[in-house]
Structure 1
Amino acid sequence: MSKRETPVKKNDVLNVTFEDMTHDGSGVAKINGFPLFVKRALPGETAEVKVINVKKNYGFARLMTLKQESEARVEPPCPIFKRCGGCQLQHLSYEGQLVYKQKQVKDVLERIGGLGDVLVHPTLGMEEPWRYRNKAQVPVGEQNGEIVAGFYAERSHQIVDMPNCVIQHEDNDKVVQLVKKLAKDYGIRGYDDHTHKGTLRHVVTRHAKQTDQLMVVLVTKGKELPNKKNLVTALKEALPNLTSVVQNINPKRTNVIFGDKTEVLWGEDVIYDTIGDIKFAISARSFYQVNPMQTKVLYNKALEYAQLTGRETVIDAYCGIGTISLFLAQKAKQVYGVEIVPEAISDAKQNAKLNHIDNAEFVVGEAERIMPWWQAQGLKPDVIVVDPPRKGCDEALLEAMTVMKPTRIVYVSCNPATLARDLKFLEQRGYTTQEVQPVDMFPQTGHVECCALLVKK
């Protein structure tokens, strides 16, 4: 076989055994060391597959016939599981999902971070891993003259119409179906992202678990929304716990959901929810964790790792609307939060007032620029907490953290790969990763959240 040849070709039909799973839930089989990725296949299973795409170092195949099933395989309860891109793991038992996520974290820490000996605890899961999402962001369009709303099919912009979603709170489902019906009744056209025509682009719903308050956000292409008053009246009549109806206007050709202009059509501009003892005001565009039950589990772990006694100064380097900061402020002497999004800092200050917390200070800016300035003012943190986006921490921020020399760093991560990369950087600059706790914030999907504790050597 020459260098350019691969051991498989497109349209080959092969018998394979799956030995692993990828981060997105695909089974991995190897032909003479050449990996084939197959959707909805589980480790230990044997199957007949058909090769559909071949790259230089790997290929993709379709599951044709399953010959030997894994004991962990279950029947997905969602009728559109195979077409919708929202979930990847409904065919794997929940116990199996928790084991898979722990293994995923261990493997990636070893492969990327060189941290094979770090203690990775079993994943903390949910008693009821369904109907947990408090927020739905559902694109709206038209197919064959009918209004459709659902999630995009995997790797496409084709909307899979969704009668209900088994990981969404029931009220979110109810709102989406109701808005579809009302749009049809009142002549509101669904949006077409190819032609940039139509009115209604997205329905966004937010449900507060502890207060049962409900917000409906209608994202439209322009200010015009036909039969606006009738629409609001119909929503109020059908949804007894409705607290807020908001219109967001997004005139741009973009896949970003929200535009810059937001108008309250009826009710309040926020709904309220609590996590533990902390109350939060949530606006249409606030970042707020979608699984509040597991958020409490995650933040309790961050609090445990911070080991606060009431004498510590803490920096929260990606503070958002202050969710972790306010948790920490209950046990710390002083908390400083920094975040690049001005609206988030405004929300954080409001949330601090709401909870009568006066030992948390919030600043707008890039953490890697603000932290050296704080240090120049004589600020010496005992603990630094980071909860970055999926891309992980900016290297300049990691450098700023190590220069400040906190006793402990608590790293909350939504991406094990960037976590492993950043832990490696911190390990090389005087810190030891003591332990990592995976938390299942997103059951039925391939995502896993982690909380890592680092201590100064």
Structure 2
Amino acid sequence: MKKQQAPVKKNETVTLTFEDLTHEGNGVGKINGYPLFVPYGLPGEEAIVKVIKVNKNFGYGKLLEVKKKSKDRVEPPCNVFYKCGGCQIQHMSYDLQLQMKHNQVRNVMKKIAHLEHVPVHPVLGMKDPWRYRNKVQIPVGEKDGELITGFYRMRSHDIIDDMETCVVQDELNDRAVHAVRRIANRLGIEAYDEENHRGVLRHIMVRTGQETGDTMIVLVTRTEHLPHEEELVRELTETFPHVKSIVHNINDRRTNVILGRKSKVIWGEEHIYDTIGDIRFAISAHSFYQVNPPQTKVLYEKALEFANIDKDDVVIDAYCGIGTISLFLARKAKKVYGVEVVPEAIRDAKNNAALNGIENVEFVVGEAEKVMPEWKEQGLDPDVIVVDPPRKGCDPAFLQAMIEMEPKRIVYVSCNPSTMARDLRILEDGGYETKEVQPVDMFPQSMHVEAVVKLELQVSN
């Protein structure tokens, strides 16, 4: 049988009308039924496209010129948007971003979970979808004898040295990064050289409590010694009176992981504080803490609504992290049990419970799929299980353990719609009914979307 040829060739220039968007935000157009995926193309636009890759069933193109523009095309406010790749969809109106994310969740519910009749509500977005991130981790390099800071170019480790600001970062973080770079440059502190594993300053990390205004600056070096430490600290604290903590982190490994294992506070406190709703959190250099607290509150309020907890309910919070959801649940429940594999996160969770005077929680280090069967053997009979897994979704053994515990309700919080849909199918086959899905936009200007799902145990006749 003769192999069918694609109707386009590599490096060919074609005129294309975009019909749709992929879940990554790429425009999709067809040439004689053959799909081409093109970054920055928007539905309804006619464009001139260069074909850069041809596969058997689809190809990729590069946008050369937009002949007919969509009403949803906007000018990205970031001066390095087309170089950076940290945000992927600044060229879309915010309405279109929310519509794309809604379609993404609906599509996986239909194609992967086979649950097309389950209501997927419109995405809960932000009033102001800019400057929402409370943490920045930015690499340090050198150019023409001067220190530079900036995110990496797409698919590279080249620092974008003309990055003036990051429009999704808290402005305090932006200003603190610039100050560290300026002061370190004047003091002659060397940048880390990734290729030769030499030099000193690798990354600058800044965290800000959006409700409190507390700021922590973390200086990540290859070396145990931070040159001109006293002078650097003095100038930073004089420049930024809201800085509450300066931490020196040592990462002497050849690695893409930003923070090393060893940290020491060189000025101020070990923690800064922030609040989500009326719950206070202590945040250290290594703490996992949601980068968009206002939307985290929206997400957790929806999880609480779906959990429908009363004062007699026992709840398990699997993959509990630093106890963020657990503490919200504990305000309503009789008892909450949290389980998480990362020991440092459980330590933070216990500290946060104590900080808020919440005593009806118990946190355990371990893998949820191993801990939960032990709890079942001990007679723990949860009314509700809340699960917030990593992007890879739930371990099959965990899903089975959850099904065997037979809670009345399951609330699934997801940061990856595809793995969420896969897991929902397993829970449906295990006797649960998916009632509704609420997507939440935690990361405006990027392709990512979170969702909260309500499931109920089906009662056999």
TM-score bracket for this pair, using the shorter chain length: over 0.9
Superposition deviation, residue 282 in structure 1:
0.4
Matches for 1:36-47 after TM superposition, within 5 Å: 36-47=36-47
Please state if 1:291 is matched with 2:292.
yes
Q: If the length of structure 2 is used for normalisation, what is the TM-score? A: 0.97
DSSP-derived class of the 1:185 partner: helix
Which residue identity lines up with residue 172 of structure 1 in the other structure?
A: N
Asked if the contact 1:36/1:59 (under 8 Å) is kept, the reply is yes
Provide the residue aligned with 2:330 in structure 1. 329
Provide the residue aligned with 2:184 in structure 1. 183
Runs of 4+ more than 3 Å apart? none
Superposition deviation, residue 96 in structure 1:
1.3
DSSP-derived class of the 1:106 partner: helix
Asked if the contact 2:436/2:454 (under 8 Å) is kept, the reply is yes
Matches for 1:86-165 after TM superposition, within 5 Å: 86-161=86-161, 162-165=163-166
CA distance in 1, matches of 2:118, 2:138: 39
What percent of counterpart residues are identical?
A: 61
Please list the CA deviations of residues 77-99 of structure 1 after superposition, one character each: whole Å capped at 9, or x if unmatched: 11111111111111111111111
Provide the residue aligned with 2:405 in structure 1. 404
* Structure 2 spans left out of the alignment, 5+ residues: none
Superposition deviation, residue 55 in structure 1:
2.9
Provide the residue aligned with 1:250 in structure 2. 251
Matches for 1:253-268 after TM superposition, within 5 Å: 253-268=254-269
Please list the CA deviations of residues 132-156 of structure 1 after superposition, one character each: whole Å capped at 9, or x if unmatched: 1000011111233332212111111
DSSP-derived class of the 1:105 partner: helix
CA distance in 1, matches of 2:384, 2:137: 35
Provide the residue aligned with 1:282 in structure 2. 283
Q: If the length of structure 1 is used for normalisation, what is the TM-score? A: 0.98
Which residue identity lines up with residue 188 of structure 2 in the other structure?
A: G
CA distance in 1, matches of 2:130, 2:351: 32
Provide the residue aligned with 1:442 in structure 2. 443
Mean alpha-carbon deviation: is it higher for 292-301 or for 193-202? Answer: 193-202
Asked if the contact 2:23/2:100 (under 8 Å) is kept, the reply is no
RMSD (CA atoms)? 1.2
Superposition deviation, residue 353 in structure 1:
0.3
Superposition deviation, residue 379 in structure 1:
0.1
DSSP-derived class of the 1:151 partner: coil
Asked if the contact 1:244/1:268 (under 8 Å) is kept, the reply is yes
Give the total of aligned pairs.
457
DSSP-derived class of the 2:82 partner: coil
Asked if the contact 1:163/1:177 (under 8 Å) is kept, the reply is no
Please list the CA deviations of residues 372-401 of structure 1 after superposition, one character each: whole Å capped at 9, or x if unmatched: 000000000110001111111111111110
CA distance in 2, matches of 1:157, 1:36: 28
Superposition deviation, residue 4 in structure 1:
6.0
Which residue identity lines up with residue 9 of structure 2 in the other structure?
A: K
Provide the residue aligned with 1:51 in structure 2. 51
CA distance in 1, matches of 2:400, 2:56: 37
Provide the residue aligned with 2:34 in structure 1. 34
The 3 A distance-change label for structure 1 pair 191 and 34 is farther
Please list the CA deviations of residues 244-269 of structure 1 after superposition, one character each: whole Å capped at 9, or x if unmatched: 00011111111011111000010000
Provide the residue aligned with 2:318 in structure 1. 317
Asked if the contact 2:393/2:416 (under 8 Å) is kept, the reply is yes
Mean alpha-carbon deviation: is it higher for 356-365 or for 223-232? Answer: 223-232
Asked if the contact 1:85/1:151 (under 8 Å) is kept, the reply is no
CA distance in 1, matches of 2:287, 2:338: 16
CA distance in 1, matches of 2:85, 2:45: 23
Matches for 1:358-437 after TM superposition, within 5 Å: 358-437=359-438
Which residue identity lines up with residue 242 of structure 2 in the other structure?
A: N
Provide the residue aligned with 1:357 in structure 2. 358
CA distance in 2, matches of 1:23, 1:152: 23
Which residue identity lines up with residue 44 of structure 1 in the other structure?
A: G
CA distance in 1, matches of 2:345, 2:324: 11
Provide the residue aligned with 1:71 in structure 2. 71
Which residue identity lines up with residue 380 of structure 1 in the other structure?
A: D
CA distance in 2, matches of 1:304, 1:40: 37
CA distance in 1, matches of 2:202, 2:367: 32
Matches for 1:3-42 after TM superposition, within 5 Å: 3=3, 5-42=5-42
Asked if the contact 2:245/2:269 (under 8 Å) is kept, the reply is yes
Asked if the contact 1:97/1:444 (under 8 Å) is kept, the reply is yes
Superposition deviation, residue 235 in structure 1:
0.6
Asked if the contact 2:153/2:159 (under 8 Å) is kept, the reply is yes
* Structure 1 spans left out of the alignment, 5+ residues: none
CA distance in 2, matches of 1:118, 1:447: 21
Please list the CA deviations of residues 407-443 of structure 1 after superposition, one character each: whole Å capped at 9, or x if unmatched: 1100001111111111111111111111110101111
